[in-house]
Amino acid sequence: MQLAHGDNSQISISNPTMVDATGHTISSFQVGQQIGIQSMLTNHEAHDQRFAYVVEALDKNHVLDYFEGFSASMQNNQSLTATQVWTPQEAGDYTVQVFVWDNLASAALLSDVMEKQISVQAPEDASVPTTIQKSSESTIWFKYTPVCCNGTSWENKYPSPEVSLPEFLKIKDYFNGFGITVIKSMQTHANCDYCTEINGKPLDYSYYLLVPSSDENKMLNLGFEKVDAIPSDVSTAGM
């Protein structure tokens, strides 16, 4: 997802600070550790302002590892501290970005985009680092291949005024309705040819969804295929 950087003065936002569960600043990070990503927001408008505080983490290949936001409102000239919790599943170098939208649907930027570089270490007792290509004991990859002309369940859920919502958010929201947490949504390159005589035929690209192991039965009941590994040429869904 591309974000516009610029002079957005409606809401000011501080550089992100990483904190633990007690609110104390931390500077070292491990896989499986809960990291609070915290920023100070100030509403400079002369009226109350609805907003969405959004946090994303991108790995060294600029693949989206985490994206989450929450909505709230501030009075004029009010300041507050906003926090989102990210639990990295893989070791590596990450760019953490924080910014403010007017809401999660229209995604109009109200602030500058602030970022911080961090390194996440593998647990000391891990024999090999984890990668995005393999499932682990705590997570499972599932595969889904769309069928020509049917559309995906998450795209079909949204009416046309909301088509600007990023696809990875539609996926997250769709599966939340089934009590499933999608950690990552990836896809292979999509062929944009129109359907003609192949209606009902599987298309030549697939989605890969990483979910907690606790959601395995829910995904199987929905008809998704469990896989041990994913291709190397995947990218974040909708990017």
pLDDT in tens, the chain (239 residues): 444 444 456 899 999 999 987 789 999 999 989 899 999 999 998 889 999 999 999 999 888 889 888 888 999 889 999 999 998 988 999 999 999 998 877 778 899 999 999 999 997 644 444 444 555 568 899 999 887 766 788 877 765 544 456 777 788 888 988 999 888 888 887 655 555 455 556 677 889 998 889 999 999 999 999 998 888 878 877 65
Give the domain CATH number at 37: 2.60.40.10
pLDDT on residue 201:
64
Instruction: Give the integer Cα–Cα distance in Å for 188 and 204.
Output: 9
Give me the domain span that covers residue 189. Answer: 139-236
Looking at the domain assignment, is residue 6 inside a domain? no
Looking at the domain assignment, is residue 131 inside a domain? no
Looking at the domain assignment, is residue 179 inside a domain? yes
DSSP tag of 16: P
Give the dihedral sign, CA 100/186/170/222: negative
Looking at the domain assignment, is residue 15 inside a domain? yes
Burial 180-198 (b: 16+ CB within 10 A, else e): bebbbbbbbeeeeeeeeee
Q: Output phi, psi for 156, to 5 deg.
A: -70, -20
Judge if 143 and 213 occupy the same domain.
yes
Looking at the domain assignment, is residue 129 inside a domain? no
Q: Which two tokens stand for residue 180?
A: 């499933």
Q: Pick from 49, 51, 41: which is nearest to 15 by CA?
A: 41
Asked which of 121, 153, 183 is the last residue of a domain, the reply is 121
pLDDT on residue 190:
65
Q: Which two tokens stand for residue 18?
A: 């990483």
pLDDT on residue 135:
56
Looking at the domain assignment, is residue 19 inside a domain? yes
Judge if 207 and 113 occupy the same domain.
no
Instruction: Give the integer Cα–Cα distance in Å for 189 and 203.
Output: 11
Looking at the domain assignment, is residue 167 inside a domain? yes
Judge if 16 and 115 occupy the same domain.
yes
Distance of CA 237 to the CA centre of its chain: 10
Read off the pTM: 0.60
Total tally of structural domains belonging to the chain: 2
Looking at the domain assignment, is residue 4 inside a domain? no
Judge if 149 and 64 occupy the same domain.
no
Judge if 114 and 160 occupy the same domain.
no
